[in-house]
Amino acid sequence: MKMTELEQLRTISHKIEGCLAASKKTAAMFESDEGSASKDACYRELKDQEKQLQKVLIELHAAMNQTVDYQLCEPEAKGQSLEQALIAIREATEAFQHSTKNSADHLRKVADNSARWISESLKSLKVDELKQITLSHTQTVETVTESAVKKVKNLIRWFKWERLGIAMIIAVSVSLLTGLFINDESPWDSHREVVAEREAGKMLFKAWPKLSTTEKQDIQNTATQYL
Residue 101's domain comprises 3-124
Mind listing the pLDDT tens digit for each residue in 26-51?
666 655 655 555 556 666 666 666 66
Based on the domain organization, do 118 and 152 belong to the same domain? no
Q: Does 135 reside within a domain?
A: no
**72, part of any domain:** yes
Using CA atoms of 166, 168, 174, 180 in order, give the dihedral in degrees to the nearest 10: -120
Contact 106, 95 (CB under 8 A): no
The enclosing H or E element of 170 equals helix 127-182
Please tell me the distance from the alpha carbon of residue 173 to that of residue 185, in angstroms, as a whole number.
14
Range picked from 16-25, 166-175, 181-190 for highest mean pLDDT? 166-175
CA 86 – CA 67 distance, rounded (Å): 10
Alpha carbon of 81 to those of 89, 90, 191: distances in Å? 12, 14, 134
Same domain? For 110 and 201 the reply is: no
Task: Please spell the DSSP secondary structure of 44-55, one letter per residue.
Answer: HHHHHHHHHHHH
Q: What's the confidence (pLDDT) of residue 72?
A: 46
Q: Select from 94, 124, 154 the last residue of a domain.
A: 124
Instruction: Tell me the residue length of the chain.
Output: 227
Same domain, 148 and 186: yes
DSSP string, 184-201: SS-HHHHHHHHHHHHHHH
**For the chain, what is the domain count?**
2
Phi, psi of 135 (to 5 degrees): -65, -40
pTM for the whole structure: 0.29
